[in-house]
Each structure stands twice: as structure tokens, then as C-alpha cells.
Amino acid sequence: MAIESEKQMSSVDSTIVRIVDNIKKSDSDSWNYRGLELSNEMLVVLISHPNIDKAAAALDVSIGSLADPRDVPGIAHFCEHMLFMGSSKYPGENEYSKLIEGNGGYSNAFTSGDHTNYYFDINPSLLPDALDVFAQFFISPLFSASSTDRELEAVHSEYEGNLSKDAWRVSQLEKSTSDPKHPYSGFAIGNSETLRVTPKQRGVDIRQVLLDFHKAQYSSNRMSLAILGNQSLDELQSLVMKSFNDIPNKKLKQVKYPADPYGETKRKTICYVVPVKEHRHLTINWVIPDHKDLYYCNPESYLSHLIGHEGDGSLLSHLKKMGLATELVSGEKNAAPGFNFFTVDLELTIEGLSRWEEIIYIVYQYMAMLRKEGPKEWIFDECKNFNAMHFQFREKERPDDFVSNLAGRMRDYPLTECLSGDYETREFRPDLIIEELNDYLIPSKMRVFLASKEFTSIATETEKWFGTQYKQEYLPEELIKKCETCELIPELHLPKPNEFIPTDFQLFSKEKHTSRPQLPIKIKENEFCRLFYGEDTFYRLPKAYLYFELRNPLGSADPLHSNMNALYVELVEDSLTEIVYPAQLGGLQYELSALNYGIQLTVHGFSHKIKQLLETIIDRMVNIKVNPQRFEIMREKVKRSLQNFRRDVPYQMAHYGVTYLTAEHQWNKDELLSCIDGITAHDLDSFITRMLTRFFTDSLMYGNLTKDHALEYMSLIEQKFQEKRFYQPLFPGMWFNQRELTLPEGCNYAYTMLNDAHKLHAIEIYLQCFPQTLENNALLELFCHFVDEPCFDQLRTKEQLGYVVSSGARRSRGVQGFRVIVQSARKLDHVNQRIELFIDSIRDYISNMSDDIFKKQREGYMVKKVEIPKKMHSQGNKFWNEITNHQFCFDRPQLEVEIIKSLELKDLVQFYDHYIALNSMHRRKISVHVNPSAIALQGTNDKKSIVDEENELAAVPSEELPSPTNEDNAETIIEPAVEPIVKLTEQPLIIDPITDKDSKDKVIPEKQINLPEAEWIDNVHVWKSKMPCYPLAQSYEKIDIPVLCKL
């Protein structure tokens, strides 16, 4: 362990009692770090580098919902909501949010079981101002009485928004059925019942409870602060000394919770759970000791590595061969000081659901094998090498994520290891591994959760907070005894040494470090392929990113072919699991996707073994044999994903609806679902041959590789396909992207969709504007930047109109416009009216803006626009999007910023008058309305009696909303072939944006607005048949249609 380089500061400065200058970092990390301990016992880590283009800060309080008073659940979360509602020094409720958001920044907060975490990022020049406002919330927060009731509604609405999400429902069920005397059994998020109705009935003042909780639980000696900026370490240290030393130290103890959240009576039980979506999951949980003080031994990591392994001899491999399971995740979860859990979570097949007892027995057979083999030091060393490698070459995170994560773990490790602590694995302790296997991961201490809609008829109990239907009973004693005396079987054995661990980390580029990433260039083109190459001279990591698009529109010729394309991809991925898993452990990843225009493959990670992985994947794509058993399982998986579409979150359905309606051609979910059952293994075999016979490959190879490497990898693909007599040139007419419908001027179309799971409504209003060009992009983006904050402030904060409120640019298939999304409990005719009234107010808002404010906000957006992605992967994705969109504008941010620099207020007003204004004859509007179906209204317990529907809203983090800038390949975002698996062991965080909540501002008054009468779309196909299409967006570098087939 490194010895802290400590300087005692009492004789120099009473604010700082300790400085740590030797924080362990990787050799590839050029940032500078310094650790501090203030006189009030707050821990601080400063991060500095002159080239940082986005500053950030986070403060973590090591207390969370586990500290809730038993009679007022949700108070920790409510306190998090209330903390930023003004301070004595800065009493305005909106000063903080306007400072952050007006200067290209973002702020957020979350509450977990044992942490409450607040963070923001901002233009670096404004970091000192932001830190002073930020610090005051922890020195003298107001907790104003006028804000309490409104924020309570926001908390309740957040709860309402999660009622139909399976991850939340099962997580709360596990807690509610735990030992009722343990804090773990509480209701973390809170709602109107716990925070208003019940306290009122008992004569309790909820504001006083808030004040008491803050006084009893918030103290500087429980706080950790991380600050990232382009100022020097000494300058950042001065900012800390100026602002944060006055946070009071109440000398509170670090909390440690009782060691057993389940209790003896809750063990050996099974809960049969009815999920909202169609899925089948088996979860086994055990309580294990809290080994956080032995982080450098980490016995849980060793066991998780083996139990969760997916290679030859693994638990998952055996269960897949038996046709019982498709996915497995294992490891520790929900850890808090004093206790921890170990979990094994399995996604089951239909057959697996009926044989769940057998699966549990096989899990214990695997553990019996681990006991017999005993802990192996070579496996520990392999894990140790993995961790060291990933730490040494880890990519930077987004600034706000980086400081938030760092602040959250600073008290888990010595300050010298605050960066490396999660990766430290240096002491092999076989005794701890054996103890965990023998004393904790045993049949008599397990709890089982089995989720499937098959249990609807037997689930006679209802969980109090989320209304989840379930039935709990004790496991059969015969099963417990059988699992205690398992027979060993040869199919389950330890993995072999990993051949994919890279050992060569040399950097191939001889160029000097550049200030921005180099742009890709085209290095090969023929009738079969086109290859772009980008050398990394910026990130300087031994990693590469290989992108391939195998374009053949046969994959979406009709719903049958679209399903077969998805099935082909699923079967390839399924068959590769055992082979590729060692590569994934060694830092290599791949993604294979079925798209409207063909198949996309991405391979990325350490350069050393990337060719080996690429060759393995292509070989399997070419030579796959359709296994009838796996075919049936994958077909059912794809079908389940299609069925679950109508249970998605409403605003996501609305977003999909606009994409579907404006597409020249796209199959809807009902069409795909109608023909999935008829596909046979023979059909798929035939499809694969036809799909791979004729296609064109676009490729980008970016990162730590040479031109020769890139050409070699491209030749490898050509050779592999041509060996099977595949890969003929594509016909020119098959190369082009899909086009977007041109909505007629003056239109006001509307379309309704039904949701089977959520009682909330959602609407997306889309005002189609123009094709994508540099000039159009710059104008629309700047307009959206100015409108985003007032839209959220008006519709969400002041009017409390919707659960989700978002505005921004919507882009798909080379066309773009302005969109507003609202998810709400209110009727959508009212929501639509309020959105339009807000849109009507935008002109005055922009016109009355002072020139000084306009220039400052324009500058703030320009800084944000040219911010370099912190991860090489993110930069590679940006370049790749330019290629798949056929626009090839690799230096787009810089070119568009030059145009933004010349835009004035009058340009925004002219844009508004032409495309956005309610009275403009050029306005083109389409809206999608998502309403709860009869199934949704009847299917879940009605919690709405707690408050009036008018108040049901909440905020969600903006990253959950549809991206306004990455929609050119809409099908890659909106239509995954198979929905991501819901991990029922996942502990959801309670996440809230910090927003402007100035209660003194009034809502926009009602007034008569004249809109064309909505024309409701009934038959989509007939409606589309009458519409013209936009031309495709043109390329910027005269990189036009490739050579393709010579006719």
C-alpha cells in the first residue's frame, strides 16, 4: 500500500490539516491530483489540467435512505430534493440552475441506500462562481416552507413514474419482504402517503422532520468533495479554502448497519413474482459479510468471476446446452456499511421456468465443484492482472460522472488510492473465499425470487408500495437437503487460462500528441468495400475501434426478413458467448446489430488481440449452423421483445411513433409480431445465404493501429466471406439510406398509440423544419439551446405539467426540426394546449433578451459544442455516424461553431416566425399521443387516490430522454432487435435533476390560440402514400455513392 505523503498544515493554514500529493494514477493519466483533509474533516480531491474543457464538482454525503426514520420513509430523498432550494447567501431558488444551465452546464443529484450525491459541470471559467453557490447549500440551506409542498409533489410523481418498472418493483419487493426491523426493509423513494398524508394524520410537521433529519445526518465529516478544473491545483485549493471550510462539523459517527437484512425467518423462501413485462427471471440472494475494509482481497470478486463466467465449463454454458437459460449475472449488490449481498440472476427459457428447482440444484453443483477445487492463486492473479490493465489504460469519463463517482468512493479507500481502489487486488486470501462458500453461499441461507406472468393465478399477495403481485412461501425442504449434498458432474469445471489477455501495449503512432483528434481519411475503395482510417494522436491509449456496416436492404424487405435478420444476429451472438467471453474479460468487446439497411458490427478494445477476436466473429457469421433448440429459444426471445413494446415507458413510445410516422418505409411492431411464429430454422438458413451473398461494407478503423493494420483487417473480412462464395457487389439502388416524408405546410397531424403498462400519458410534438446542412444545423441548435431551459422551467417547474419534459432538435434520415416531449398524468388535449401556449411565448422571450445575455449564452453553447469527447469510443462513434449517415463531415463541430458565431438574435426570430410560430403558414406539425389502454388502467393497483392526478409529475435525468443529436440512424436508437434484459437484482438509484424552481413566477395565462384543426391519422399506410419525401442529405467531402456493382 502506498504511504500517504502528508503535510501537516496547522502552522501554515488552519483550514487544511492534511495534503496528499501522491495519489496513485495510471501512467497514461496526464491529469494532476491532490488530496486534502479540511479542519472540518471534509475530504477533498482536486483534479487539474490546463486543457480541461469542462469543469465539474461533486459533493457526496455518506448517508442515504437507510437512515430514514421508520415512521417517515423517503425523507432522505426528500431532503435531497429540498437542499438546492436556496441558501441564506443566495436565497433565489433559481440562481444555481440559471448559472449552470446558462453556461453550457448540467446538474443533478441522487439518493442511494448509504449515499446522497450532488454534482454539476460548467464552463471552466465560471467554476469559482458555481462553487461558491454550491457550497452555500451545505452551509446554510433555507428549506423554505413555500417550497416544501411543491417539492413533495415532485417526489410523489417520481414514485408514480416508476410504478410500472420491473426493476423498481422487484427491488422494493425484496426489501418489503426482508426483516421489518432492519433499515433495508424501508421504502426509499417516498411518496405523498409517507411524506404528507400519514404525517398530517399524526400531527407531524414534515418541514420540521426535514430540518431534524438534516441536522442529525448532514455533517462535514461525512462529506467528500471532488473538483475538476483547468485552474492549477493551488488555485483550486484556494477555492476550496474560501468556500467549503465553513460547512459545520457535527462530529457524527460513520454509520454501520446491522449485518443481517433478511433475518432467520426470511431465509429458505421463494417469492413468485408477476412482472409487468414479458420475461422470466430466477434470482438467488444470500447475505454475506461487508468486506470493504479488505478491498484489496475482494473474495466476492473472485467468486463472481467464476460463477458469472460464460466460457467452457461454466454454469451458464451448461444451462444453455440444457436449454434452460439464456443469460446469467452474478456478484455483490446493494452493499452498505455492515452488510452485503451476493446474487445469481438468470434469464430463463420457457423450459427453464418449469425446471427452476433443477436450475437451483445445478447452481449448487457448481459451488460444490468450487469447494472441491479450492481457491486457485493463478485465477486470482489473472483477475489481478485484468484489474491492473483496466486501471492502467482506462478511458476518461464525462466530467460530471467522474467527479460524482470519485466523491462517492473517497471514504472507501485511503486518499492515495481514491482512483485505484476499485481496481486494487493484491492479497490472495483463500480463507475468505472458503468462508464465503462454506458459511454464506449455502442452501439454508438463500432467498429465491422467480418472476413470470405464469404466476398471475397464484400470486395472492400485493406489495404495499408498488402493488407488485406475488406469493411467498418456504422452499421445499427436500430441495434444501438435495442442494446440500450435490453430486459433481464433469460438465462443470474451472475455466482454462485466458488466451485473450493482451501483453503488448505499444502505441503505433509516431506523431506528437495533438490538441484535437485527427480526422479519418479514406484509404481504400472498390466495388466491395470502402475503408476510412483514423490514427489516434489525442487519447494515446493502446486501443482500437473497428466499425463495419454490411449493407443489404434485404434484411428489411418485409416484416419476415426483418425478423430473420434479428434472429440471425441473436443466434450469432448466442453461439459466440462461450468463445468470446474470455476476450471480453481481456478488455475486448463487440456489438452486432440488425438494422433496417443490413447488419452492423463493432469490435473494440485493446489493439493487441483485436484481430483474433474479429476473425473469430466473422468466421462464426459465415459458418454458423442453426441449432434447432437455440433457434426456438432465440425466436421466443425476439417475440417477447416485440410484445413488450406496448409496455415501454410512454414518452419512449411517443418518440418511436414520430420516427415511424415520418419514415418513408418502416415496419411497425404489430407487423413484425404477426409473422414471427411462422419462421422456421430452414427459412433462416436460406435467408443467411441470401443476405450474405451480396452486400457492401463501409468501415471505419480508428485508434491505435496503422494503415497496414486497417487494410489487413479489411482484407480478412473480404477473404472470409469470399471463401464461402459470398460477397458479390451490391446493386447501386440498394445502397442509399431511407428518406424522410415531407410534411405539407400548414399541417397539424396527430396519431394515437396505446400503452399496456403505464397509466401516464405522453405526447411528442414535432415541428419539421428543413434538411440537415451546416447552416441549418447551427441555426436549429442555437434556437434549441435558448429554448431548452425556459421550456423545462415553464412546463415542468412552474406548471408542473408533466412527469418528463424535454425540448430540443430532432434529427432522423437527414431531416430535422424542433420537438417537445411531455409525459404526464393529465389529459393530452390539455397538455397539447399548454405546450402550444409555451411555444407562442418563445418569440417574446427571445425578442426581449438583452444583447449581452444573448452573447453570453451563445458563447456558452459554442464552448459546449466543441468540447472533445472524453472517451475514444465516443469520438469513434461520432466519426462513424458521419459515415453511416453518408455525410462524412468529420470536423462538423468546428465548422458549425463558426456559423453559430455569426448568428444574431434576429436570425433566431426569423427562424421562429417561419417554422415555429403558431400563425405561420409554413409551420408543419405532427404529434403522437400515447394513452393508457384498458389493460393498463385495470392491470396495476391504483395509487392515484393519494393525490390528485393534476399533480403527478417528476423530473428525470436528461440522459434518459431521446437524444436530440444522435437520431440520424434512428433505427439504431429506437428499434433494438431485442430489448435489454431487466436485471431484477439491480438496485435503482433515485435520481433528480436540480432545476429552477422559482415559485414567484406565474404560469403563462390562458388565451385563445388559433391552430389548424388536428387531422388524426387513421390508416398510416394510406396517409404515407400521399406524401412526398425529402432528398437525402448530401455529403460534405464529395464522397459520393461508391463504385458498387458495375452494370
SS3 letters for 680-706?
CHHHHHHHHHHHHHECEEEEEEEECCC
Name, in order, each residue with C-beta under 8 angstroms of 794's C-beta and a sequence gap of 6 or more.
Answer: 838, 841, 1003, 1004
Amino acid at 299: P
Which percentage of the chain shows pLDDT scores above 70?
Answer: 91
Residue 308 has pLDDT above 50, yes or no: yes
- 662 in Cβ contact with 812 (< 8 Å): yes
Q: In terms of Cα–Cα distance, which of 954, 924, 950 is closest to 831? A: 950
Give per-residue pLDDT as tens, 657-677. Answer: 999 999 999 999 999 999 999
Q: In terms of Cα–Cα distance, which of 786, 785, 788, 800 is closest to 997? A: 800
Give per-residue pLDDT as tens, 738-775. Answer: 899 999 999 999 999 999 999 999 999 999 999 999 99
Q: In terms of Cα–Cα distance, which of 598, 595, 967, 549 is closest to 772? A: 967
* CA distance linking residue 882 with residue 530, whole number of Å: 14
Q: Cell digits for 528?
A: 466491395
Grouping H, G, I as helix, E, B as strand and the rest as coil, residue 436 is: helix
Q: Cell digits for 806?
A: 424535454
> What confidence score (pLDDT) does residue 996 get?
39
Q: In terms of Cα–Cα distance, which of 677, 385, 393 is closest to 544? A: 393
Q: In terms of Cα–Cα distance, which of 636, 724, 689, 672 is closest to 563? A: 672
Q: In terms of Cα–Cα distance, which of 963, 771, 986, 743 is closest to 165? A: 986
Grouping H, G, I as helix, E, B as strand and the rest as coil, residue 12 is: coil
- The band of 1040, judged by pLDDT with boundaries at 50, 70 and 90, is low
- 975 in Cβ contact with 645 (< 8 Å): no
Domain 264-398+423-484 has CATH 3.40.1480.10: no
Q: Angle at the Cα of 290 (from 289 to 292), degrees rounded to 5?
A: 145
Q: Can you tell me the mean pLDDT for 827-839?
A: 94
Same fold, 1-63+87-140+219-252+399-422 and 521-647+667-734: yes
- 947 in Cβ contact with 193 (< 8 Å): no
- 233 in Cβ contact with 171 (< 8 Å): no
Give per-residue pLDDT as tens, 56-83. Answer: 999 999 999 999 999 999 999 999 999 9
- The band of 9, judged by pLDDT with boundaries at 50, 70 and 90, is very low
> What confidence score (pLDDT) does residue 1045 get?
55
Q: Cell digits for 460?
A: 395472492
CATH no. of 748-867+889-937+948-1022: 3.30.830.10
> What confidence score (pLDDT) does residue 1039 get?
61
> What confidence score (pLDDT) does residue 1038 get?
66
Measured in whole angstroms, how far is the alpha carbon of residue 164 from the centre of its chain? 18
Domain 64-85+143-217 has CATH 3.30.830.10: yes
> What confidence score (pLDDT) does residue 772 get?
95
**Active site (catalytic) residues:** 80
Residue 3 has pLDDT above 80, yes or no: no
Longest Cα separation, the chain:
85
Residue 967 has pLDDT above 90, yes or no: no
Residue 981 has pLDDT above 50, yes or no: no
For the stretch 16-21, contacts whose Cβ atoms lie closer than 8 Å and that sit 24 or more positions apart, written own/partner, are 16/237, 16/241, 20/415, 20/416
Q: Can you tell me the mean pLDDT for 786-806?
A: 85
Give the residue carrying C-alpha cell 462529506: 223
Q: In terms of Cα–Cα distance, which of 634, 643, 303, 670 is closest to 494? A: 303
Grouping H, G, I as helix, E, B as strand and the rest as coil, residue 340 is: strand
> What confidence score (pLDDT) does residue 737 get?
87
Q: Can you tell me the mean pLDDT for 411-419?
A: 97
Lowest mean pLDDT among 5-9, 189-193, 237-241, 918-922: 5-9
Q: Cell digits for 377?
A: 492463486
> What confidence score (pLDDT) does residue 1041 get?
60
Grouping H, G, I as helix, E, B as strand and the rest as coil, residue 915 is: helix
Give per-residue pLDDT as tens, 517-528. Answer: 999 999 999 999
Burial classification of residue 10, based on how many CB atoms lie within 10 Å of its CB (0-12 exposed, 13-18 middle, 19 or more buried) = exposed
Give per-residue pLDDT as tens, 339-391. Answer: 999 999 999 999 999 999 999 999 999 999 999 999 999 999 999 999 999 99
Would you identify the CATH topology of the domain 1-63+87-140+219-252+399-422? Cytochrome Bc1 Complex; Chain A, domain 1 (3.30.830)
Side-chain half-sphere exposure of 256, counting CA atoms within 13 A: 8
> What confidence score (pLDDT) does residue 1043 get?
59
Would you identify the CATH topology of the domain 521-647+667-734? Cytochrome Bc1 Complex; Chain A, domain 1 (3.30.830)
- Top pLDDT among 868 and 959 is at 868
Q: Output helix, strand, coil percentages for the chain, rounded to the nearest 5.
A: 45, 20, 40
Q: Cell digits for 616?
A: 473469430
Residue 990 has pLDDT above 50, yes or no: no
Measured in whole angstroms, how far is the alpha carbon of residue 501 from the centre of its chain? 28
Lowest mean pLDDT among 200-209, 267-276, 668-677, 978-987: 978-987
- The band of 939, judged by pLDDT with boundaries at 50, 70 and 90, is low
> What confidence score (pLDDT) does residue 942 get?
41
Give per-residue pLDDT as tens, 232-268. Answer: 999 999 999 999 999 999 999 999 999 999 999 999 9
Q: In terms of Cα–Cα distance, which of 211, 118, 72 is closest to 407? A: 118
Q: In terms of Cα–Cα distance, which of 833, 845, 849 is closest to 918? A: 833
Residue 733 has pLDDT above 70, yes or no: yes
- 836 in Cβ contact with 829 (< 8 Å): no
Burial classification of residue 989, based on how many CB atoms lie within 10 Å of its CB (0-12 exposed, 13-18 middle, 19 or more buried) = middle
Residue 144 has pLDDT above 90, yes or no: no
> What confidence score (pLDDT) does residue 713 get?
97
Classify residue 509 as left (phi > 0), alpha (psi -120 to 50) or beta. beta
Torsion of CA 621, 625, 629, 631, to 10 degrees: 40
Residue 131 has pLDDT above 90, yes or no: yes
> What confidence score (pLDDT) does residue 1044 get?
59
Give the strand pairing for 696-703 and 529-535: parallel
Q: Can you tell me the mean pLDDT for 391-415?
A: 95
Q: Can you tell me the mean pLDDT for 975-984?
A: 30
> What confidence score (pLDDT) does residue 227 get?
98
* CA distance linking residue 110 with residue 64, whole number of Å: 9
Name, in order, each residue with C-beta under 8 angstroms of 638's C-beta and a sequence gap of 6 or more.
Answer: 563, 566, 567, 570, 676, 977, 978
For residue 812, which phi and psi values (nearest 5 degrees)? Answer: -160, 140
> Domains of the chain: which residue ranges?
1-63+87-140+219-252+399-422, 64-85+143-217, 264-398+423-484, 521-647+667-734, 748-867+889-937+948-1022
Q: In terms of Cα–Cα distance, which of 652, 951, 958, 980 is closest to 802? A: 951
Mean pLDDT over the full length of the chain: 90
Direct distance between the N- and C-terminal alpha carbons of the chain, in angstroms, rounded to an integer: 69
Name, in order, each residue with C-beta under 8 angstroms of 397's C-beta and a sequence gap of 6 or more.
Answer: 405, 870, 871
Give the strand pairing for 521-525 and 223-229: unpaired
Give per-residue pLDDT as tens, 419-451. Answer: 999 999 999 999 999 999 999 999 999 999 999
- 58 in Cβ contact with 225 (< 8 Å): yes
Name, in order, each residue with C-beta under 8 angstroms of 288's C-beta and a sequence gap of 6 or more.
Answer: 300, 332, 340, 341, 342, 436, 440, 441
> What confidence score (pLDDT) does residue 1046 get?
52
User: Sheet holding 32-38: strands in order across?
Assistant: 6-7, 16-20, 32-38, 43-48, 223-229, 55-61, 116-122, 106-111, 990-993
DSSP states along 709-765: HHHHHHHHHHHHHHHTT--BPPPGGGSSPP-BB-PPTT-EEEEEEEESS-S-EEEEE
Highest mean pLDDT among 219-228, 730-739, 976-985: 219-228
User: Sheet holding 804-812: strands in order across?
Assistant: 804-812, 815-824, 761-771, 925-932, 748-755, 1015-1016
Residue 21 has pLDDT above 80, yes or no: yes
Q: Can you tell me the mean pLDDT for 640-669?
A: 95
> What confidence score (pLDDT) does residue 451 get?
98
Residue 152 has pLDDT above 90, yes or no: no
* Strand boundaries in 187-300, DSSP class E: 223-229, 269-273, 281-288
Give per-residue pLDDT as tens, 568-616. Answer: 999 999 999 999 999 999 999 999 999 988 999 999 999 999 999 999 9
Q: Which helix (H) or strand (E) holds 330?
A: strand 325-336
